[in-house]
Each structure stands twice: as C-alpha cells, then as structure tokens.
Chains A and B, each alone.
Chain A
Amino acid sequence: MAADSMAGVGAADRLSLPPQAISRRRAALGDRIYRACVLASVWLVLVLAAGLVAALCWESWEAIRAFGLRFLVTSHWDPVAGEFGALPFIYGTLLSSLLALLIAVPLSLGAAIFLAELAPAWIRPPVAFLIEMLAAVPSVVYGLWGIFVLVPWLRDWVQPALATTLGFLPLFQGPPYGIGMLAAGLILSIMVVPYITSVSREVLLAVPGSQREAALGLGATRWEATRIAVLRYGRSGLIGAILLGLGRALGETMAVTMVIGNRPEIAASLFAPGYTMASVLANEFTEATSDLYVSALVEIGLLLLVITVVVNGFARLLVWSVGGPARGGRE
C-alpha cells in the first residue's frame, strides 16, 4: 500500500531532466514559497487569536477593575444593582462539560472502534456519514428537541427512577424538574459525540495494518490487538479528538441554555437547574444595557478562554504523565 501512494513520485523523473543546478534552484524557490505560505498561515492564526484575547481584555477591563478577584468567587449576579459574581457559571460550565465527556467519550470511542474494526464493510460508510450529520444539526434544533422530547422523558421516567434507586446520593436528590444539569449534560454529550466519533474513527483507520497484524500474529485476541497496537499507536489522535469534543462542550450556548434552567446557583444535585458561562453570554449580551454589565459579560467570555486554557493544559499534562509524549507515525 505504500507503493500505491508513491505514484506521485514518478514526477521526480521529469524533474531530473533539466540540468541539476536549475532544478535545484527551482526546488529551493518552491520550498521558500511553501515555507512562506505555511508561516503566513501560522502567524495569521496566532495574530487573530491574539487580537481576540486583546479585544476581550479591553472590553472587560471595566469589570475587572470594579470587581477584581471577587468576580471569581462570589455567586451574586444582579444586573439591576450592578453586582456581578461568576462562580455559579464557572461551576456550571465545568460540571456540564465533565458530565458530557463522561457520557460521550466511552460511547464515542466504542462506536469508533466498532466502525473502524468490527463492523461489516457495508455498514461503515452510511453509519459514519449519519454520525457526521449529527454535527450539522443546528444548535437551536437540539435545544428545542431537548425541551419537547428529552426533558419530559427525564422528568417522567429517568429522574424518578434514579431517585428511587440512587436517591441516597446527593447527586440525585431534589424535585424532578426535568430541566437542569442532567438534561444539559445529556444534550451536550449528544452534540459532542459526532466530533469524537468521526475523528477517532479516522485515526483508527489511519493506523497501519502492520501494527494490528503484528499483534494478531503474536496471538492476541481481537480486543487485545486493538488495545495494544491500534489504540496506543493512535493515542495522540484520540486525545486530539477528545479535546475537540471538550472544546465544543465548553463553548456550546443555545442548546444548553434551553434545558439547563438558567439559575445562577451552585447545587450538589444533578436534578437542580444551573447556568453556564456560554449560556449567560448568549442570554444577556444582546440585551445588556449598562457598560459595566457588558463589561462583566465580556469578562465571562475571557474567563471561559482562561478555563479552556487551564483544562487543556491539565489534559495534556495528564497524557504526558501517563505515557510520555504520545506520537504516532514517527517511530
């Protein structure tokens, strides 16, 4: 199979026809242009990101000056009185995303393994396609589906069942509104699944067959071969897929705000309503009246950025500590 992809190499014969010096200079020019384009792209991304951060800092300066660190640890969000504390939103964002990943990651990886390794060939393309299409469903449709289908189901079936079986845990106490943190976590997990599944599936498919064959040849069962050869080889890619899903979960606005109850309070129970940073931004930005109000909202946007940085850093640290720099394709 390596030979197939080398078909493009035939061009090298044509290149060696002109005198060596000219072809080398042309190659060097091509290299320089290519390198310039690549670096331009890289710097474009970095400059835009820097611009974004700068704009966020600039707009939120008024709120930062007014509240300082209090913003991070108080729970009082009162637009009329001009008092803003972001702690419940931070809690809501972290909890809902964690819940979403807890549900989505095992399901997505399982589905990806199934689609890449175990499914009969005729099933793979249509199912993979279907899952990709989940990513195209507009956020507002997820939200409305959530209100009309998911929330009643939770309120009438799931939450009472959880309350009777696991009700001794503070996680499952309180009145079953249907709307709340559990609904938000579920909707987020559905939204995040297509990203993790699609990308993981591609990663697994890209692992060279030789790896799998070697493990099988040594007597491993199917699962062992997958675990030892394929998953480990593609670990970096899988982590990338999960981080992609995490990013979506942290930043999702519309669907979450429709089912989470939008109550800026910290509660132990998953049945209780909550509020996320992205939701409060979406809910209140267009109607925010005073400058301090707008500034506080933008500061929440900035905080979300910081939290994304922290969570990403933490995740990478975790990966490093478990198995060294995860790299595929370089050995």
Chain B
Amino acid sequence: MMKKWSLLAVLLLAAAIPGRPAPADAQMLMNGAGATFPYPIYSKWFEEYIKVDPEVRFNYQSIGSGGGIRQISERTVDFGASDGPMTDDQLKKAPAELFHIPTVMGAVVATYNLPGNPQLSFTGDVLADIYLGKITKWSDARIKALNPSATLPDQSIVVVHRSDGSGTTYIWVDYLCKISPEWDKQVGRGTSVKWPVGLGGKGNEGVAGQVKNAPGSLGYVELAYAITNKLPAAKVKNQAGKFVEPTIESTTAAAAGAAKSMPSDFRVSLTNPPGDSAYPIASFTWLLVYKDQPNEAKGKNLVKFLWWAIHDGQKYPSTLLYAPLPAPVVKEIEAKIKQITYSGKPLLAAQ
C-alpha cells in the first residue's frame, strides 16, 4: 500500500519538474504547425537556423494544412503552414490580416505499378477520365495512343487516391478541374472530395504503399515519395503541349512561368502554367503569418527567419527532394516580408 503511494508521489514530483531549459540562457521558443508535406525541409531549416541565430528555437509540428490554418486563426501558434491557400471565407474569419509566404515547391506525380516498369505519358484529360471511372483498363485505346511503345496489360486500373484531407489532393484535383470541365462539375476541388472511383490510402505513404504492392494500381503522390519509394513517375503534357517529366527543375520552372502574373498575396494555383519546361501539377507551400505581429521580439525573429529562408535557406530543398523558389518570385516575396509590422512599424530593417 505504502509502496503504491510513494510510487504515485514520485510520479507527481516528476511531472512537476518544469522541464529542462535548453543549453545557454533561456531561448525564445517559436511554435508553428500545419502541413505535413514540408515537415522534412522545415525541420532541416530550423536546425540550420540555430547556427545562424542561437537565441531562437523554432518548433514545427505537422498536423495537416487545415490544422495549420485553424491554429493560426486561433492564435495558438506563432505561425501556420499550409499546402493549399486559405479561402476568402477563412481569411475573413481570422482575427487579423494573414500573409501567405511561399517557401518551397512540390510536385504531385502520377505513379503506377505495371510489369516491366515502363515510362508512361499521360494527358490531363486521360487522368481525369481514369479518376472519373470512364477509362477502366490499362489497354484502353487512349492510353495506348499516348504510349505506343509500352506493353499495356488488359487489366483493370486500380485507382488509388488519398483518404485524408490533404494539400496534395488539393493540387491534384485543382489540376483536374482546370483540364476537365466534367471533373469540375461532378467533383470539384478541395482538400477532401467525393471520389467517383478508387481506394483511399492514408497519407502519401499509404498511397505509395498501395501502389507499390498492388499490380495494376495508379495513384498520385508527392514527388519525394515517388523517388524514395522507387516508384515510376509519369510524364504529363503541359499547357505548351510538351510532355514533361516531374523533376525538381521542372517544378521550379512551373512557378517561373507564373511569376509575371503572380498575385500580390501569393494565393495562386500553379497547376497547368505556361512555359515549355514547366511540370503542370506543382504548387507552392506557404507559411501563414500575421501582417501585424502581436509580439515584437517574436515578430523580429519571424521576419529574420523568413528572409533567411527565401535566400540562404533555398540551397537545402533540393537535397531533400523539394523544389526551390525561382529567383523572380523571391524578389516579390522580399517585398511582402518587408510589409510585416509590429504596431504599424515594419519589423525588417532595410536589408
């Protein structure tokens, strides 16, 4: 009996320990949450940034783009992150004006499992019709027409999509909406949609796992997952009529093509952009920060980090299979960061 109470007492004491402050004098901890897609590159950045500014620690956790939007709107975190831009409704609901700051880019690839691992090419409308359930077999004439030299089995296509709401899905269906009016009408765009056909896998790894293990599958995943899982990535026809392979360079080219018509708030869809070498299914991922920062010290740290991220930080993404921002876009983001204020005064001194 006594032993049980003393055990409990020890547990209570342990719980009351107010956590070890990190080495050196007390650092400032900045908390952020949101999209899962950029988690690896953000964790790399925050680790590197400690060398740049040892006084600050950035803690980022992936809880989903929707979670990121909700938490920054509730002000439970210092910054949010999202793969899909906030809607007008969501922006209106936030207590103050929020900025979208693009950080890196990602591509969504069509991946598949066929004997012999042929390199396939698709057009947007063929993909849309497969996901609408109108094209059901690999041996369909339209797929054959695009891939005359590949041996396509007379097998049903096992369509795989995401079951969880995600920015990856948003990019994918956004592209399909632009290409296929029928998709736009029947399904529409969102982080979660009513899929006409197919199995749902949880997360990029769920879809990758399903495609990897089931012959005849077709799914969509972020580029990094296709590469690390050694899954084939299909070439897709872009707006200029070229069949482009999804790579880091073609992803960056997608934004470069759209740089001229970039809206000032960066809430832009980069799918199906102009440009010969642009991969058509790509997107930014954004950090969400308040225009007017509630805390001066935190605000200063935030803008200094953002500045570093779009300049020095851009040498890290490609090693982790993300695409860096193209130079013209970086210039426009610089102007945006300079607009972040505290009590009306811009936080970033002339840099």
**B132 within 8 Å of A by Cβ?**
no
Q: Report if A213 contacts B (CB, 8 A).
A: no
Q: How far is the CB of A173 from chain B (nearest CB, A)?
A: 15
Which of B66, B164, B187, B210 interacts with A289 by CB under 8 Å?
B66
Which chain B residue lies CB-closest to A257?
B202
- Interface residues on chain A, number (Cβ under 8 Å): 33
B257 located at the interface, meaning its Cβ lies under 8 Å from any Cβ of chain A in the complex: no
- In chain A, positions 73-130 with a C-beta closer than 8 Å to chain B are 76-81
Task: Tell me if A80 and B189 are in contact (CB < 8 A).
Answer: yes
How far is the CB of A179 from the nearest CB of chain B, in Å?
6
Contact A287/B166 with A152-B213, A178-B214 known, Cβ cut-off 8 Å: yes
Bound-complex Cα distance A318 to B156 (A): 46
Q: Identify which of B49-57, B122-130, B191-199, B339-347 touches chain A.
A: B191-199
Within the complex, what minimum Cβ distance (angstroms) separates B175 from chain A? Answer: 15
What 1/0 mask marks residues of chain A from 129 to 153 whose CB sits below 8 Å from any chain B CB?
0000000000000011001100110
Query: How far does the Cβ of B215 sit from chain A's closest Cβ, in whole Å?
Result: 10
Contact of A76 with B194 in the complex, beta carbons under 8 Å: yes
How many chain-B residues does the 8 Å CB contact rule pick out? 35
B-contact bits for A265-297, CB 8 A (1 contact / 0 none): 000000001010001001110111110000000
8 tightest CB-CB pairs across the interface, nearest first? A287-B165, A262-B200, A262-B163, A286-B64, A287-B66, A80-B188, A283-B164, A78-B194
Listed in ascending order, the chain B residues whose CB lies under 8 Å from chain A are: 63-67, 69, 87, 89-90, 156, 158, 163-166, 187-195, 198-202, 205-206, 209-210, 213-214
- A and B contact pairs by CB, cutoff 8 A, 27 listed: A76-B194, A77-B194, A79-B165, A79-B190, A80-B187, A80-B189, A80-B192, A80-B193, A144-B205, A147-B206, A178-B214, A257-B163, A257-B164, A258-B201, A262-B201, A263-B198, A263-B199, A275-B163, A275-B200, A283-B192, A283-B200, A286-B64, A287-B164, A287-B191, A288-B192, A289-B87, A289-B190
Known contacts A283-B164, A283-B202, then 20 further A-B pairs from the complex at CB < 8 Å, ordered by chain A residue: A76-B194, A78-B193, A78-B194, A79-B193, A143-B202, A152-B213, A177-B158, A177-B214, A257-B164, A258-B206, A263-B198, A273-B200, A284-B164, A284-B192, A286-B64, A287-B64, A287-B191, A288-B165, A289-B90, A290-B89
